[in-house]
Structure 1
Amino acid sequence: MSERYSTPKFRLRVVFGPGEMIGPGKAELLENISRTGSIAAAGREMGMSYKRAWQLVETMNDMFREPVVLSTRGGASGGGATLTETGQQVLAAYRSFETEARSAAGGQIARLQGMLRRRGNAK
């Protein structure tokens, strides 16, 4: 009896230049910021430190002509963060590209998966 393989993970990263890229982690961070209204909460949901989440937001804000996230300082009234229109467009473009690439690569991924060595108690 052969062990079945799980569905392969498809991870797409677009590299624009040194230190300038967007991939599944930054896209998830943007989605979480949009949903939670907080950079800290978005990072926590991903097991990411507050500092790291802020660094990624700053990197993305510096990468694009317009900021992708706007934030307000915390304090007694609390802070917050929102995706800008540019941020929404960046996220939508990345997710669309990811969907199209996954669809286009499906046959080749299946081909590669078919060539994998059997694991477990296969005879």
Structure 2
Amino acid sequence: MVKEEIKKYTEESRLTCANAFKVAESLGVGSMQVGNTATEMGVKIKDCDLGQFGKFMQEEAASSVAAYEAMKPFLDERNRINCHDARKLESEFGFPTIRATLKNHKIDVKYCKLGCFKEKKGKQFTLKTKIWIENSEGELLFGKGKTEVLDVISQTGSIKAASEVLDMNYKKCWNHLKILEKNFDDSLFETKPGGGKSAGTELKPKAYELMETYKQLEREIEEFSNRRFKELFLKK
């Protein structure tokens, strides 16, 4: 997307400083990304008073380093960050810096319903699958939403904290658990009321088994679906 915008304003492998800023502003990306992309394309940025665009790139580079350092404590073992935490950092460093930092360090954002940190790309075909399990009454029993609730509770040890991470109403989060409790014979979690270290919600082995089984099912169905999608829709 950045390359396409740069091409619109490039003449004889030159891009004016004003147009470079225009590209950055129109796409909502940092000047560093525009500058680096222009360099990759062999395009030089001209007419910058006192190296103005270069200074912005240096400032953004420093800001990106600081953003990454601030991001590190929130990263999990798979180099992922919760959308909730990424948005908190955005208020400090700005959206372009956070998105550039995520891209540069290949950090995935999880539990992001709006996809706000994903880079916009050109037209392309993508297969989306959604898998859920229902009971005999047609009630949604288990799917991605309930898996995420259990997953985050296992990390935070709290229903309230999980609802905040997922940007979910506490009552809705609790309802997910009640539906699971109603439909499974085995106890999936234990909630200890009160305050202090002993309070909170702890998952039982059956809950972990259920999560892993669902994730395996989801992964295998997605792999098969994507393979068939490429065979049927993306033929050369």
TM-score computed with the length of structure 2 as normaliser: 0.43
Give yes or no for the alignment of 1:70 onto 2:190: yes
Give yes or no for the alignment of 1:42 onto 2:162: yes
Identify the structure with the greater helix proportion: 2
In structure 2, list runs of 5 or more residues that go unmatched.
Answer: 5-121
Report how many aligned residue pairs link the two structures: 113
For the Cα contact (< 8 Å) 2:132–2:140, is it kept in 1?
no
Give the Cα separation in 1 of the matches to 2:232 and 2:141.
Answer: 27
2:202 to 56, 59, 82: 82
Q: Could you give the per-residue CA deviations for residues 10-62 of structure 1, whole angstroms, max 9, x where no partner exists?
A: 32112233324211110011100001101111111111111111111111111
For the Cα contact (< 8 Å) 1:20–1:63, is it kept in 2?
no
Give the Cα separation in 2 of the matches to 1:45 and 1:25.
Answer: 13
1:31 to 145, 151, 156: 151
1:104 to 196, 207, 224: 224
2:130 to 3, 7, 11: 11
Structure with bigger gyration radius? 2
For CA contacts below 8 A with separation 6 or more, give which structure has more relative contact order: 1
Shift of the alpha carbon at 1:69?
1.6
For the Cα contact (< 8 Å) 1:40–1:50, is it kept in 2?
yes
For the Cα contact (< 8 Å) 1:33–1:82, is it kept in 2?
yes
Q: What residue in structure 1 maps to residue 51 of structure 2?
A: none
Question: Identity percentage over the alignment?
Answer: 25
Give yes or no for the alignment of 1:94 onto 2:195: no
TM-score computed with the length of structure 1 as normaliser: 0.78
